[in-house]
Amino acid sequence: MYQRLEEDQVLCNLCHHRCRIKESKRGICAVRENQGGRLISLVYGKIISRAVDPIEKKPLFHFLPGSASYSIATVGCNFRCQHCQNAEIAQLPRDRNLIVGEEVAPEKIVADALRRRCRSISYTYTEPTIFFEYAHDTAQLAQKAGIQNVFVSNGYMSEEAVELMAPWLNAINIDLKGPESFYRDICGAHLTPVVENIRGLHALGIWVEVTTLVIPSLNDGAESLQNLAETLAAISPDIPWHISAFHPAYHLLDKPRTPAKTIRRAREIGLAAGLHHVFVGNLPGEQGEGTTCHGCGECLIERTGYRILKNRVTNGGCPECKTPVAGVWHPPGEGN
């Protein structure tokens, strides 16, 4: 995932930053270092966080609902989001020049996931692209063991990375953060590569869901939200869109929490744009957490927070009107 250049420099091809890195220096993610003209991952096998989560926490609502996902992360990220809600681990290498973690081999991750009866392994909490080799090795072993693989990502991986990960990746939730100005000013990145990856991954048959964290005065305008919704609907109206409420974090402590009415308005915008499934997040008990049939309006999956109270999806569709409901409702070989 890199090229050697003149004077012992390297070009990293892992994400769309395409960092040109001098000898003994690191890329934007701060976890990949040029050592003598070789690009070395500094976080391979170094787990900073792992837990068993409900798959709904990723959030993935139409992928093996109600199942457990073994979730892992290393330190580091290739974005510098001012509102980073996991900054204590994602930004640790840049803010404090620290790379820490428990040494855990891929084989142990898969064995523990099996022992805990997890149907998937999620590469999450920080940006999984930056620990790509570790995720790659773990995911291949997981696939052989019958465990699904999930990325929770900012969607900035390169075309080369997508090509390498596609054979073993089953599902992904991608942050679609806002307009180009938001990406440039708040995240230090660009919008277009993210949209192209959503389109490309969906075309490859990988299950895709999308999340937008709505921040007052930054990306909560009706026009901005409508543009995002229409972008997703043009790719596929079946892509679930999660609209989440912001709480102050990291460098955006001066911004207020997102009002519930803003999240409700965003959901209405998404549905009006033609998306079949638009969910509210970070507001447990709020209408809009459940899956409804876009054909007849029947409630198919009732949720509160990360808990499923009722699941009526039958043979991949609505039991009332038989309208198909897009999703991955069972592991391979167990139904459709």
- 8 Å CB contact between 21 and 38: no
Q: Which residues contact 37 (CB under 8 A, 6 or more apart)?
A: 4, 8, 9, 10, 23
Average pLDDT over every residue of 113-138: 98
- Residue 9 banded pLDDT, cuts 50, 70, 90: very high
| Residue-number span of the structural domain to which 28 is assigned | 2-41
**H or E stretch covering 113:** helix 106-115
As for how many domains the chain has, the answer is: 2
Backbone angle region of 250, left / alpha / beta, with phi > 0 → left and psi within -120 to 50 → alpha:
left
What does DSSP say about strands 241-245 and 148-153: parallel, antiparallel, or unpaired? unpaired
Specify the amino acid at residue 146.
G
Range list of H helices, 117-259: 132-144, 159-165, 180-182, 192-203, 222-235
Residues 154 and 205 in one domain: yes
pLDDT tens digit string along 62-102?
A: 999 999 999 999 999 999 999 999 999 999 999 999 999 99
The average confidence (pLDDT) of the chain is: 96
- Residue 93 resides in a domain: yes
Residues 129 and 24 in one domain: no
pLDDT at 333 over 80: no
Residue % of the chain over a pLDDT of 90: 96
- Residue 318 resides in a domain: no
Residues 251 and 122 in one domain: yes
- Residue 172 resides in a domain: yes
What CATH number should be reported for the domain holding residue 252?
Answer: 3.20.20.70
pLDDT tens digit string along 238-288?
A: 999 999 999 999 999 999 999 999 999 999 999 999 999 999 988 877 789
- Residue 330 banded pLDDT, cuts 50, 70, 90: confident
Concatenated DSSP letters for 299-326?
Answer: EEEEEETTEEEEE--BTTB-TTT--B--
pLDDT tens digit string along 148-161?
A: 999 999 999 999 99
Average pLDDT over every residue of 211-232: 98
The predicted pLDDT at position 188 comes to: 97
Residues 291 and 276 in one domain: yes
Residues 53 and 27 in one domain: no
Average pLDDT over every residue of 24-52: 97
Residues 21 and 53 in one domain: no
- Residue 209 resides in a domain: yes
The predicted pLDDT at position 334 comes to: 65
pLDDT tens digit string along 175-216?
A: 999 999 999 999 999 999 999 999 999 999 999 999 999 999
